[in-house]
Structure 1
Amino acid sequence: MHPPLTELLASARVVQLPLTSRFRGITVREAVLMQGPNGWTEFSPFLEYDDTEASAWLAAAIDFGWGELPPLHRSRIPVNATLPAVPAAEVRDILNRYPGCRTVKVKVAEVGQTLADDVARVAAAREFVGDEGRVRVDANGGWNVDEAERAIHALAPYDLEYVEQPCASVPELAEIRERVRYMDIPIAADESVRKAEDPLAVAKAEAADILVIKAQPLGGIRSALRIADAAGLPVVISSALDTSVGLSMGAHLAAAVPELEFDCGLGTAALLDADVTDTPLLPVDGEIPVERVDVSPLLLEWHAASVERRDWWLERIVHCHALLPES
């Protein structure tokens, strides 16, 4: 059974954390931290998500704060650096925030930018990690099939590990995967898993080689594990621009996956200019630990949202809680 609404609201603290660079069109990340019997947990669906979609994020927060964890297979998680859609001249400074990371995920297909911008950014990332490093790109569904094919050809010389969500729909993913199959560049699906009514549709359609799995959007660690197991594809565990509390949830998910072939997108505390803990889950030697996060009361106060934003988030919890299944 889910904890009662009053219990969730009693410990809920709403924070606003500045980012080091614009990411997903925002410069401040808002999140709700709640404390359950297991420790601190996080509810932070993006602002544009409706209550139905956001309710899965609340289920994840409850699962991590109140539920039973599955067995864990590792105590540290290798992570990738995440590179926003910045000019190529800024790449080195950003990637220096990820000490020891051998893999870089580069954001591409940013609205208002060109393919030439993407190529320059990816080239700078490849130069930074060298021939032995790994470079993957993430278009967040920003290309149609023809644009994706042209972009993948342009970026292929930089030895891509995979291309994440080049197109928005599952049929488009299946088509672009078929078109570039001869290039031996895998296609990964993110939004087609976490924002889909059927998160297994992309696997059933053979539209991707890899699934990007995120704990919060998929309803929690145990739910995400069931999806990964049913899909039968390699997975990358990633974050949703979480605080270190949410990253801890992602790290526990990554630790519970039996086979972890790829570096995970859980180093994104480096994108935050502030956090809710004195010991944020920043990459060290390219890894983060699998551990619960101690939240700082002082930082919760320092980064507390306005009364208006706090009330907005608490009302959102009320709406999402009403949508949760009975058990």
Structure 2
Amino acid sequence: MLSIRQLRYFVEIAETGSFSAAAERLFVAQSALSRQIKEMESRLNTPLFERTARQPRLTAAGEAFYPRARDLLIELGKASDMATQVGTGQLGTLRLSHSSTVPLSGRLLNAISGYLDHCPGVSMEIVKLSSEAQLEALAEGRLDVGLLRLPVLRQREGVSIVPLFSERLLLAVPPTHPLAIHHPEQAIDLAQLKDEAFISIPHPQRGGLSYLSAELCMRQGFFPRAARVVSRKTTQLQLIQAGFGIALLPESMRDIAPANIRFLPLADPDCQSTVALAFAQNPTALVQQFTQHFTQSCASFCGNSADPAPSRDLR
């Protein structure tokens, strides 16, 4: 069996036209190089070079062997580069999911774009899943990274969560709502919303934005009254626009909201929502590369972002 070293020696001699020049470029002794070529010829049972007084010339067998040997070394180099890129997270397909209340716009879209520019060998598959579904998919290896809103109620073993940034919550109302007409710039107290119909109420086994909204309302002594039509998905924007009710929504959802929905400030400074990054413990190099770049990018994009917290195993 021929060795890679022998192939490299043979190709170098064929391209330089000299044993001495090849030895110099390969940083080996000419005697060692000659010995390897003789061993090759012995294994192939045919000479590859005609040794002349001036310079070696390829034999007919050498002429036939050279392009294939060269191509083998090129392909080996490509395979080696690919293995290195995969092993260092520079190549592959990243499976990312986000919840419906974490729109891929603004700072998040900038962070994704910056990551893909930094890693041109990586492609990305993006789907939309609830926070709980993301954690399940991460635990089962069907997903690489998730973007969700805290809090999470149904935790999964072996899944790490890193808070990325917090953003203020706003009161989203239809354009004809009295608060939008008479108090368009006034900060709203949550207690004023006691009799309002909310188009998003919490699921008994799910956390996220609806759970946080209900918790904030309960601090003011009431549980959100459900509208006749409710949703925890992006469709709640259309429900608000149609006048079915109101909702507490993160500021980033203004990026994808219909133009005539009114967003009003809230007086309570605790009306904040946190976006977090979730991924399996013992992540691949691809996931490690993404999470490192993504958390740093989000921190740089967000003037009000919290410092990325240490990842923790949710058990």
The structure with the larger Rg is: 2
TM-score by length of 2: 0.25
